[in-house]
């Protein structure tokens, strides 16, 4: 298993040119660690808590009889959302994957990412745990193109075909139906990351997915998560190889039946001259629905737009997207 800090476990110090304000924004994000998060009534709802318990027990039926000390990270003391985070991360603790929470890396609309101390058995020092807020139950993406480009689960956990619009609508009506959809959504993100990792893509190694939590390799140091591409200024000589690396990852995903669907400089981390693609929450299967060609174009466009900030870098995104699609999928849908 690969250690986080390279071959000799020796942590090296590197200096990255950060964009003005990027470090401040990052510190602000860290400062939010101590600020209690506003509690929404929905997060404590019994339906949500029931779903969490069920997820945890499904993955570890004997959890109730556990003799070991329970998970009580000091990081959570005083936080109003502690019960919710605790119930999301305890199954990872029970499975000897994490031992503590170090910091909150990021808190977005739908998910919060924590840096956790890894259990020694994992061979990692830190791991990133991304946990979805229960708010997801209410606000599953309405974007039809995503819903119809995946296999989803109905209330009974049976695969429901992405194209079955009637089925999906009926399923979403009930609390259980929405919970099943959220579970299937998070599983899909995890599966996508697994597929990518197993085929050599530049993504954090995914370790586990339990309920609303995805556990993966942490990119960064104890003090600082790796900056996003949007936060750094690349050296001239890095531009072309990193651009090519990202396009290679886009093509690798397509070869293995995935389009990222939300790729941009905000979902790419930069560390020691290398990029790592993250956040596969919106990934889609191009074999399920060829309309997703437009998502591939958008991913490539955003990457090209980012690199276009650097002088003498002007590439036609649509041409790249068409080339990638044609190589892997055949004729481009808009030409057919």
Which residues bind to ligand ATP, rule: CB under 6 A? 105-106, 108-111, 113, 128, 130, 204, 216-220, 225-226, 228, 266-267, 278-279
**Minimum Å distance from CB 36 to ligand ATP?**
19
Nearer CB in complex with ligand ATP: 210/278:
278
**Minimum Å distance from CB 176 to Mg ion?**
28
For residues 286 and 253, the answer to whether their CB atoms sit within 8 Å is no
Nearer CB in complex with ligand ATP: 154/217:
217
Residue spans of alpha helices (H) in 78-224: 82-94, 135-138, 144-147, 165-172, 175-198
Q: CB under 5 A: which stretch of 14-22, 113-121, 169-177, 279-287 binds Mg ion?
A: 279-287
Rounded to the nearest angstrom, the gap between the alpha carbon of residue 23 and the centroid of all alpha carbons in its chain is 22
Largest CA distance in the chain: 63
Cα 197 from Cα 91, distance rounded (Å): 23
Nearer CB in complex with ligand ATP: 128/234:
128
**Minimum Å distance from CB 332 to ligand ATP?**
29
**Minimum Å distance from CB 58 to Mg ion?**
27
**Minimum Å distance from CB 105 to Mg ion?**
11
Cα 286 from Cα 284, distance rounded (Å): 6
Give the three-class secondary structure for 198. Answer: helix
Nearer CB in complex with Mg ion: 88/267:
267
Give the three-class secondary structure for 226. Answer: coil
For residues 131 and 85, the answer to whether their CB atoms sit within 8 Å is yes
Nearer CB in complex with ligand ATP: 17/109:
109
Cα 229 from Cα 166, distance rounded (Å): 40
**Minimum Å distance from CB 213 to ligand ATP?**
12
DSSP 110-136: SEEEEEEEEPGGGT-SEEEEEEE-THH
The residue within the footprint of Mg ion, chosen from 168, 267, 276, 289 (CB under 5 A), is 267
265 forms part of the interface with Mg ion (CB under 5 A): no
Contact partner at residue 238 from Mg ion, ligand ATP, none, CB < 5 to 8 Å by partner kind? none
53 closest CA partner among 211, 185, 174: 211
Contact partner at residue 268 from Mg ion, ligand ATP, none, CB < 5 to 8 Å by partner kind? none
192 forms part of the interface with Mg ion (CB under 5 A): no
Judged by CB under 5 A, the number of residues near Mg ion is 2
Q: Rule CB under 5 A: which residues touch Mg ion?
A: 267, 279
């Amino acid at each position: 298993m690969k250690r986080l800090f390279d071959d000799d476990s020796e942590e090296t110090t590197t200096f990255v040119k950060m964009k003005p304000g990027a470090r401040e924004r990052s510190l602000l994000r860290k400062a939010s660690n101590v600020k209690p998060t506003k509690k929404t009534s929905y997060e404590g709802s019994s339906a949500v808590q029931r779903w969490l318990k069920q997820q945890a027990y499904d993955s570890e039926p004997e959890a109730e009889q556990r003799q070991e000390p329970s998970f009580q990270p000091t990081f959570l003391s005083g936080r109003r959302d502690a019960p919710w985070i605790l119930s999301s991360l305890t199954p990872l603790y029970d499975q000897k994957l994490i031992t503590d929470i170090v910091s909150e890396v990021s808190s977005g609309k739908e998910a919060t990412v924590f840096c956790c101390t890894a259990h020694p058995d994992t061979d990692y020092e830190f791991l990133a745990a991304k946990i979805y807020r229960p708010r997801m139950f209410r606000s599953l993406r309405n974007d039809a193109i995503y819903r119809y480009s995946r296999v989803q689960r109905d209330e009974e956990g049976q695969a429901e075909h992405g194209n079955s619009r009637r089925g999906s609508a009926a399923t979403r009506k009930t609390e259980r139906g929405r919970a099943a959809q959220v579970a299937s959504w998070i599983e899909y993100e995890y599966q996508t990351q697994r597929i990518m990792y197993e085929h050599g893509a530049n993504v954090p190694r995914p370790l586990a997915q339990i309920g609303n939590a995805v556990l993966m390799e942490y990119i960064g140091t104890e003090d600082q998560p790796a900056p996003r591409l949007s936060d750094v200024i690349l050296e001239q000589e890095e531009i072309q190889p990193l651009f090519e690396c990202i396009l290679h990852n886009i093509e690798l995903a397509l070869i293995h039946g995935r389009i990222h669907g939300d790729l941009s400089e905000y979902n790419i981390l930069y560390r020691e001259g290398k990029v790592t693609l993250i956040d596969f929450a919106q990934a889609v299967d191009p074999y399920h629905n060829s309309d997703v060609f437009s998502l591939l174009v958008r991913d490539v466009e955003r990457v090209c737009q980012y690199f276009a900030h650097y002088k003498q870098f002007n590439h036609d995104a649509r041409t790249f997207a068409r080339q990638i699609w044609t190589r892997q999928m055949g004729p481009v849908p808009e030409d057919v």
